[in-house]
Amino acid sequence: MNPNLFSPLHLGSLETPNRIFMAPLTRCRAEAGNVPGDLNAEYYRQRASAGLIIAEATSVSPRGFGYPNTPGIFSEEQVAGWKKVTSAVHSAGGRIFLQLWHVGRISHPIFQPDGALPVAPSAIVPAGQLFTGTGMADYVAPRALEASEIPGIVQEYAKGAENAKLAGFDGVEIHNANGYLLDQFLRDGTNTRVDAYGGSVENRARLTLEVTEAVAAVWGAGRVGIRFSPGGVFNDMKDSDPLKTFGYVLSKLAPMNLAYAHITQVTAQDVAHGAKEGVGPRELRSAYPGTIVSAGGFTCESGNAALREGWADAIAFGVPFLSNPDLPHRFSVGAALNKPDEATFYAPGPVGYTDYPALA
């Protein structure tokens, strides 16, 4: 029988009651010290009917931040804050993974310890600007990591994974997408290194594979997912042969039996910003026979079609979950969806965060 969004799913060593996942959504509402608080706990509790919540991108390092008021997972206070979130989700019957993050070059000295330069595989300035919390600023040239520093990066992810376990999560997702540090190493448009971490696709994929092995050693592979955006151009990303690059890394991850690979599809918005179609979960399915979660502009109907056609096993919804805390129920009864308020996506406080109504 063909699965649909309401079919249960064995996700590694976890079973989800449906295949409607909540995508990781940066909301910029952490408290002082990049600590999640009661408001964050309520937000995630409201969305506990998701088959799986993938919590927002969370920095594994003090150097990993590039946006104001985003959470971390490297301090005791952050672990305690996330415990509030996981307890709230579990009390409501939900399941939640934490997304482990390091922004790499998509940062600015204002976010860095002691005003240092951001780090990256290569000293290539990203095009565009970032929001500092008070205004916009140009990106700066990052500092290329020394080869001797890279084991420390791997250890930061491993420690983040350990802290996520202490905080009560059900697993973790490695953020290897959207132009952040691991994605920067993987793609040849941002990695011009000539050492063991640059040049060939085998070398460029090395850090991704080392981080995944380290995180899986903490959790067991069945509680680890990893996210890729192979067709994405966000954060000034490009690759000369994305099908080869992402096909290679997925083929190397497949034998590890991870919980899932989270592969975004190219959306119309991506195409408008220069992305090319034809590099996504459908095209990469042959490289990764394991569980694929996909995201990127899906509706209930198109999500069911992807499951039926077999190139995705679950669908992660972003903005629809942001504005509809009871999204699975709305899908099940064919109810209209709340309209999202884009002005409050990254604003502080409960407005546009915990005040979207569920169906009566």
pLDDT of residue 63: 98
Domain membership of residue 359 (yes or no) is no
Q: What is the pLDDT along the chain (360 residues), one digit of tens a residue?
A: 689 999 999 998 899 999 999 999 999 999 999 999 999 999 999 999 999 999 999 999 999 999 999 999 999 999 999 999 999 999 999 999 999 999 999 999 999 999 999 999 999 999 999 999 889 999 999 999 999 999 999 999 999 999 999 999 999 999 999 999 999 999 999 999 999 999 999 999 999 999 999 999 999 999 999 999 999 989 989 999 999 999 999 999 999 999 999 999 988 877 887 877 789 999 999 999 999 999 999 999 999 999 999 999 999 999 999 999 999 999 999 999 999 999 999 999 999 999 999 998
CATH number at residue 77: 3.20.20.70
Domain membership of residue 2 (yes or no) is no
Domain membership of residue 76 (yes or no) is yes
Token reading at 54 = 């993938």
Domain membership of residue 72 (yes or no) is yes
> Are the C-beta atoms of residues 219 and 171 closer than 8 Å to each other?
yes
Catalytic entry in 67, 180, 197, 248: 180
Domain membership of residue 355 (yes or no) is no
Closest CA to 281 of 267, 297, 261, 308: 261
pLDDT of residue 1: 66
Domain membership of residue 206 (yes or no) is yes
Residue 180 annotated in active site? yes
Overall domain count for the chain: 1
Domain membership of residue 78 (yes or no) is yes
What digits encode the pLDDT tens for the residues 35-64?
999 999 999 999 999 999 999 999 999 999
The parent domain of residue 174 ranges over 9-344
Domain membership of residue 4 (yes or no) is no
